[in-house]
Structure 1
């Protein structure tokens, strides 16, 4: 687990950290939509969105499993994602409330969910799913 200067686990997830986390995963591309939103997709299907300039409090939006949508949107700091809630997307509007490792796990889950909807042949071509590495100081 990564710790900040105070020795406590780090919190939140900035744009650079998000790009470093998932930018190298199999099949992932990054582009900019809606002006400043950095969008991560696997084979053209979005799984995570964040303002590239850190605006909106560093809002982080991503796909979640249907059975977790209500549970997660009941938590403080998380709302159904505007325009994407029907597709079971959430927006973490207060990312500092959450440990960085928890947010990273959400992003990997989002990638996994979206990738699972691809054709079986394409999934096989992408190879094994990425795993999160424990980060050290």
Structure 2
């Protein structure tokens, strides 16, 4: 998945917000909380993608070649795709949608209501 495809997909998720941070990383948030990041890379692969996942998904994904515990975020069950072909685009989209749902579910009830998610 290219960075443009990553941004296009994340933009379809309800109430998601896009910002550029940390030297050009494409950061996607819901309710001010990050659910996915595409770190800038100069080569054609488009960048490394990191996202929040469930405990079970985290345990399974870090066993997949090309997927690592995300630097600085692994303790919160984030993974980083280090090789573009580690997951199919369809699988990656499913994990990104789940990351969005996981973060949204942890927002306060008030914020969920304000965003129309509750």
Does residue 57 of structure 2 align to residue 68 of structure 1? Answer: yes
Question: Residues of 1 paired with 2:89 and 2:41: CA distance?
Answer: 18
Moved more, 80-89 or 23-32: 23-32
Residues 71, 56 of structure 1: CA spacing in aligned structure 2 closer, same or farther, 3 A cutoff? farther
Matched residue pairs, number?
117
Match of 2:90 among 97, 101, 118: 101
Q: How does 1:2-81 map to 2 (within 5 A)?
A: 13-52=1-40, 55=43, 57=45, 58-81=47-70
- Greater percentage in strand: 2
TM-score norm. by structure 2 comes to: 0.86
Question: Residues of 1 paired with 2:89 and 2:42: CA distance?
Answer: 15
Aligned to 1:5: none
TM-score norm. by structure 1 comes to: 0.75
Question: 1:100 Cα shift?
Answer: 0.6
Structure 1: gaps (5+ residues):
1-12, 130-137
Asked which structure has the greater RCO (Cα within 8 Å, sep 6+), the reply is 1
SS of aligned partner of 2:85: helix
Tell me if the contact between 1:15 and 1:54 (Cα under 8 Å) persists in the aligned partners: no
Question: 1:56 Cα shift?
Answer: 9.1
Structure 2: gaps (5+ residues):
none
Question: 1:119 Cα shift?
Answer: 1.7
Larger Rg: 1
- Backbone CA RMSD of aligned residues: 2.1
4+ runs deviating over 6 angstroms: none
Tell me if the contact between 2:13 and 2:97 (Cα under 8 Å) persists in the aligned partners: no
